[in-house]
Structure 1
Amino acid sequence: MTKTDILTVNPQELARAWNETLPLLLGPSDKATVVADERDANVLRIHIDTAGRSMYSFDFKCTYVDSREVKVEIVDAERGHDQADETREIIQSLIEDYVRHIHECAQRLKGLTNA
């Protein structure tokens, strides 16, 4: 981030806004939890549980590059309590879908982060 474009919103307030907005963008039975990273004020940790009986869960690291743009990385994918094979097509499809929703959420919240 440049000195002229820094993220100035309180990380806890930002996580709260994400917790309100992200579930609106996901499937009706998907569940998302967003928390501020304890070490980096520009990072949010996102956990998503999929709907249905598949019992997939995903952990993402969402880093604010500047006040408008985020970089999203998959940290972990599990099925039940076991590591999921992230190379499987179904897993890749879910990851791509959730990353798209995360970017959409960041766009919806740019009024808060770009203040």
Structure 2
Amino acid sequence: MNHELQLDQHSLVSAWQEQLPALMDKGESFTVQADAADQHSLLVHFNAAGRQGYSLDFRCTYVDSREVAVDLLDVEQDGRHTDERSDAVQQLAQRYTRQIHECAQALHKLTH
């Protein structure tokens, strides 16, 4: 059975921009853009809610139409690179990784 991704990157970005807000908490924001280096990848940037000023960047790569690999690329606090090993950052990274997987799952009907 062919499980290759059947959706072009531009359509994928649009679908993610529509679906992801439903998974976000109040006060959070995000951007999704195509990864110019890989047609099967998206770059997702999250701005966390709250006064700590965290932002996290992820690469979401479609392994096939059903599975995504998620990589944390960068963490910043108030515009400066910060240690991604802190508990607060780890919790945010886990939550956003889960949201990325949930979004990919919700879009399965489009990507399959």
TM bracket, shorter-chain basis: over 0.9
TM-score by length of structure 2 reads 0.96
The offset of 1:4, in angstroms, is 2.0
Structure 2 CA distance for aligned equivalents of residues 57 and 15 of structure 1 = 19
Distance, in Å, in 1 between the alignment partners of 2:27 and 2:17 is 15
In structure 2, C-alpha distance between the alignment counterparts of 1:58 and 1:39, rounded to whole Å: 19
Aligned to 2:105: 107
Identity %: 44
Distance in 2 between the 1:23 and 1:84 partners? 26
Deviates most, 30-39 or 100-109: 30-39
Once residues 2 and 103 of structure 2 are traced to their aligned partners in structure 1, the CA distance between those partners, rounded to angstroms, is: 23
Give me the whole-angstrom Cα distance separating, in 1, the residues matched to 2:41 and 2:96: 17
TM-score of the aligned structures, taking structure 1 as reference length: 0.93
Q: Structure 2 CA distance, aligned partners of 1:13 and 1:4?
A: 20
Say which of 68, 71, 90 aligns to 2:69: 71
Stretches of structure 1 lacking an aligned partner (at least 5 in a row)? none
What code does the residue aligned with 1:106 have? A
Alignment partner, residue 8 of structure 1: 6
Structure 1 stretches (4+) deviating beyond 2 angstroms?
A: none
Partner of 1:57: 55
Name the SS of the counterpart of 2:84 in structure 1.
Answer: coil
Residue deviations 1:10-68, cap 9 Å, x none?
10110011011112101111101111111211100000001121110000000001001
Measure, in 1, the Cα distance between the counterparts of 2:106 and 2:96.
15
Task: Note the aligned Cα RMSD (angstroms).
Answer: 1.1
